Amino acid sequence: MATPSTPSSSTPPNSNGNGTPIQVDRSSIRAEVTGPDLPSLPAKTGPLEMKPVSGGVVHSSRIPNSPLSVAAVSFILGTVFSFGLVLCFFGGSWGFWWSQYQLGIYISSWAAFHWGEFAVTAGWNREKVSVDSFLLENGSMYHLAHTSALLEYLITLYFKPSLKSFPYVSAVGLIILILGQIIRSTAMIHAATSFSHQVAFKKLESHTLVTSGIYAWFRHPSYAGFFYWALGTQLLLQNTANFVFFSIVLWRFFYHRIRPEEGALINFFGQSYVDYRKRVGTKIPFIP
């Protein structure tokens, strides 16, 4: 297990460099990267051994953290992804009112997103990979939002199909969704071992400040990417109510998450992060 190093801040802890204290609201964070009081690691089992809870990341999922779970989840996501593709390309000939290309692309995009979270973590951030990396237990609000999106789509399609007859809206949604996915995955790849799905409050040896690449364009590219990916899904489905709902919920979520995260980053990297924060915006509307 990597031992968290002492924060290398050149400014006092919880200061933004101007002397203004930054409040770190730890209660808004579901799981923290912690130090010596972590559960002990499972015994090594050979070359295929996953390194599930190393790097200080707590395994918090209800899904058991084992290679078998990873294989099963990957298989299920692959099946869902394939179903979406079949629905997209052949659903029109099935004759069911619900078998529409937008639904197919939405289902495939959802499965690809979750599989991609694991794949990128496994490829570029191996010390933190676990079954949690699929991000399937992303909070009840996340599942509620996708359920609500599906319901709006299906109910509207059934009762008022004319409201789903704007293919250019879906095309714009698909482009935004793809760009959002690219931004998110690129951020995770570029940040590599500095990335963690949970906000870190103790600095690991492998955690360095990333300000280049996509981080030179977006201060929080993985959040911006997810924000636009999610809104893209709602444009794809031509969901008016859920486009508004997703915008509000996601904006609130990231607004409240970024503040304590940046407080911790200032503790870790001091003036360097303060300067970076002044230089680069989030590109999420109304989050400066």
Ligand X SMILES: C[S@@+](CC[C@H](N)C(=O)[O-])C[C@H]1O[C@@H](n2cnc3c(N)ncnc32)[C@H](O)[C@@H]1O
- Given a contact cutoff of 8 angstroms between Cβ atoms, the answer to whether 157 and 164 are in contact is yes
Closest to 40 measured CA to CA, from 58, 27, 24: 58
In the window 117-156, what residues touch ligand X (CB under 6 A)?
none
- Using CB atoms within 10 Å of the CB of residue 288, give its burial: 0 to 12 exposed, 13 to 18 middle, 19+ buried: exposed
Sole binder of ligand X in the list 11, 222, 234, 242 (CB under 6 A): 222
Using CB under 6 A as the binding rule, whether residue 34 contacts ligand X is answered as no
Q: Minimum CB separation from ligand X for residue 158, in Å?
A: 38
Q: Which is nearer to ligand X, 194 or 247 (CB)?
A: 194
Q: Which is nearer to ligand X, 250 or 265 (CB)?
A: 265
Sole binder of ligand X in the list 11, 261, 274, 284 (CB under 6 A): 261
Using CB under 6 A as the binding rule, whether residue 110 contacts ligand X is answered as no
**Rg for the chain (alpha carbons), in Å?**
20
Rounded to the nearest 5 degrees, what angle is found at the Cα of 2, between the Cα atoms of 194 and 135? 50
Going residue by residue from 168 to 207, which x/- string records binding to ligand X, judged by CB under 6 A? -------------------x---x--xxxx-xx-------
Q: Which stretch binds ligand X (CB under 6 A): 10-18, 64-72, 166-174, 216-224?
A: 216-224
HSE value, Cβ hemisphere, 13 Å, CA-based, for 122: 18
Q: Which is nearer to ligand X, 121 or 233 (CB)?
A: 121
Q: Minimum CB separation from ligand X for residue 216, in Å?
A: 10
Sole binder of ligand X in the list 120, 130, 220, 230 (CB under 6 A): 220
Closest to 89 measured CA to CA, from 103, 75, 79: 103
Q: Minimum CB separation from ligand X for residue 199, in Å?
A: 5
- What is the distance between the alpha carbons of residues 265 and 203, in angstroms, rounded to a whole number? 9
Q: Which is nearer to ligand X, 80 or 249 (CB)?
A: 249
Q: Which is nearer to ligand X, 81 or 195 (CB)?
A: 195
Q: How big is the site for ligand X, counted in residues (CB under 6 A)?
A: 18
Q: Please tell me what DSSP assigns to residue 162.
A: G
Using CB under 6 A as the binding rule, whether residue 221 contacts ligand X is answered as yes
- Helix 221-236 × helix 101-124 angle, to 10°: 160
Q: Minimum CB separation from ligand X for residue 191, in Å?
A: 6
Map residue 33 onto helix, strand or coil: strand
- Given a contact cutoff of 8 angstroms between Cβ atoms, the answer to whether 266 and 201 are in contact is no
Using CB under 6 A as the binding rule, whether residue 113 contacts ligand X is answered as no
- What is the distance between the alpha carbons of residues 19 and 21, in angstroms, rounded to a whole number? 6
- Given a contact cutoff of 8 angstroms between Cβ atoms, the answer to whether 5 and 204 are in contact is yes
How many CB atoms neighbour CB 175 within 10 A? 13
Q: Minimum CB separation from ligand X for residue 220, in Å?
A: 3
Using CB under 6 A as the binding rule, whether residue 223 contacts ligand X is answered as yes
- What is the distance between the alpha carbons of residues 132 and 141, in angstroms, rounded to a whole number? 17
- For binding to ligand X (CB under 6 A), which residues are involved? 187, 191, 194-197, 199-200, 209-210, 215, 220-223, 261, 264-265
